[in-house]
Amino acid sequence: MPRLRDAPVAAPPPQPHQRLEERPDDQTPRKTVDTPRALRAALSCLGALVAVAVLWLVADHNYLLFHCLAELLGVIVLVGVFVIAWNSRHFTDNRYLLFLGLASPFIAGLVLLHTLAYKGMGVFAADANLATQLWIARRYVEASAYLGAALAIGRKPRPTHVLLAYALVAVLLLGALFQWRVFPDCYVEGYGLTPFKIVSEHLVNLLLGAALLALLQQRKQFGPRIRRQLAAALAVTILSGLCFTTYVDVFGLANRVGHLLGVVAVYLVYLAIIDTSFRTPYLLLFHELKQSEDALRQAQAKVEAAYQREHRIAASFQNALLLKEHAQVPGYAVGGLYRPALRGEADVGGDFYNLFPLGEHQTGLVVGDVGGKGLEAAVVAAQVQYVLMTLAFAGHSPGEALTIARRIVSADDPDQIITVFLGILSRAGGRLEWASAGHEPALLLHADEERVELLGAGGPPLFGINFGPYPTQTAVLAPGDSLLLYTDGLPEAHAGPDSELLGEEQIAALLLAHHREPPEAVVEAMYQAAEAQAGGRPHDDIALLLLRRQPGPEAAGGNLPS
């Protein structure tokens, strides 16, 4: 197929939400663009500039109207913040929003009184002192709200307590202004701002600066955009406060610039809280929940990585527990199979089977099942298998080996259930000594009679109960006879709770039907029958071991698929 690498191909135009990245083929950097978001940001900036320009023109025409508009915009935004915080108080995890929102109506009330008391409005006193006093009172409450909101992150303030606290503060301030008249003067006609007013502005700016630093440290409570907007609002509010430390005339330039900066700060709060709450509420109201979901995904990734490590370790254990692929028993053909219930999730467990030489004339065979799955079950299975192999090497009979192994296993974990079939085969005569600890009965097929014998009588599983010695029993494999050992996943294969099990009778019938086939084919036919009975992959692990005595004196061992 010809390569078209050098052919000039026109790139398709980006879709409205497409993000353009760097192109690795020509190494031409392209800026990442999110068109809707960039357009909204541009329109927001343009709208703010237009509003500031209009207010500036209004101030040239009628300063009282300009002042009313500037302050009422703040009142509207503060009321909106309160409405959002109050109605989301039962389910939001944003403590910053909750605290700031609960303080907002009291700030709005002071702003409204300041507006009505402004010089020239004719509602309260004729001079500018009361309006300036109300302004300073509002600034103190506002600074405490921002700082308290930042400090409330990570805590759970009760809404009623916050409301009562700010209500008490508001009552005390209004009492000091209107009833007791003990609030310090802030403006003197013909003189300008008093030292108390100037110092208060700087003190408030320090509180706002502390609130700004606390906000910047709280990266978990907000997304980066909201945090930037709130931080910008605080910074602009501080600049506004600096303007209000320099004016002499309440209608002068410094006062006008300070109010315009206040409008910009209010607009930034609107974008961060009100606009976000309607457009993307999960970024503000449920940001902590979203972070928890992200943390959960990261934790799941770590768990998956840990599982994969355990899986590799357990797989190594499993391979050590199973018969080697080229295992041979002189004079016998061998077939073995192990299939986990769930590939990729639980493909290691406690099922095991093995053949091991015992001197020149004998071979040991063991099949077992440890309750559970995963690394823990595989470790216990390895312990049990090697304990039994060691006891068999030491000359103990199968029954004696199981009796000793039961005491060892029970001492380690009395509740661990383990079933085992252990046999010692004298190869020349086909004599099998065997013992069973609660394991599935072995099937001995007598080829000349085409009859299947169950080797099932034994003792209970290996776990902490008071049981005497396991009996050692004998059987004989004549030439052509087959011995089938398996774990409980084979007879218990079924499609559902109400469906029939595969059962020992069907297994015996399958052994009779396939006994002339190679051992590898027989165990594969057994597993296919289990799959058919289960309607797919069986629900439990299955281990199979088939040993067939050959007619001649010697025979090669069968290959064992994994």
Residues 256-303: tens digit of each pLDDT:
999 999 999 999 999 999 988 887 766 555 555 566 666 677 877 887
pLDDT at 554: 46
CA distance 350 to 37: 56
Task: Name the residue range of residue 335's domain.
Answer: 309-549
Whether residues 365 and 217 fall in one domain:
no
With residues binned 3-state (H G I as helix, E B as strand, rest as coil), the percentages for the chain, rounded to 5, are: 50, 15, 35
CATH number for 130: 1.20.1070
Q: Stretch 217-233: mean pLDDT, rounded?
A: 84
Q: Total domain count for the chain?
A: 2
Whether residues 403 and 507 fall in one domain:
yes
Residues 4-24: tens digit of each pLDDT:
334 344 444 444 444 434 444
Whether residues 279 and 317 fall in one domain:
no
Whether residues 129 and 183 fall in one domain:
yes
pLDDT exceeds cutoff 70 at 466: no
Whether residues 447 and 534 fall in one domain:
yes
**Is beta strand 332-339 parallel, antiparallel or unpaired with respect to 192-193?**
unpaired
Q: Is residue 232 assigned to a domain?
A: yes
Domain boundary among 255, 289, 323: 289
Whether residues 260 and 395 fall in one domain:
no
Q: Stretch 528-536: mean pLDDT, rounded?
A: 90
How high is the mean pLDDT of the chain? 84
pLDDT at 455: 93
**Surface-to-core class of residue 58, CB atoms within 10 Å of its CB (0-12 exposed, 13-18 middle, 19+ buried):** middle
Q: How confident is the model at residue 551 (pLDDT cuts 50, 70, 90)?
A: confident
* Alpha-carbon dihedral sign for residues 347, 350, 355, 359: positive
Residues 244-254: tens digit of each pLDDT:
998 888 899 99
pLDDT exceeds cutoff 90 at 444: yes
Q: Is residue 252 assigned to a domain?
A: yes
Whether residues 372 and 428 fall in one domain:
yes
**Surface-to-core class of residue 414, CB atoms within 10 Å of its CB (0-12 exposed, 13-18 middle, 19+ buried):** exposed
CA distance 41 to 239: 23
Q: How confident is the model at residue 81 (pLDDT cuts 50, 70, 90)?
A: very high
Cα 152-212-92 angle, rounded to 5 deg: 35
CATH number for 322: 3.60.40.10
Q: How confident is the model at residue 552 (pLDDT cuts 50, 70, 90)?
A: low
pLDDT exceeds cutoff 80 at 205: yes
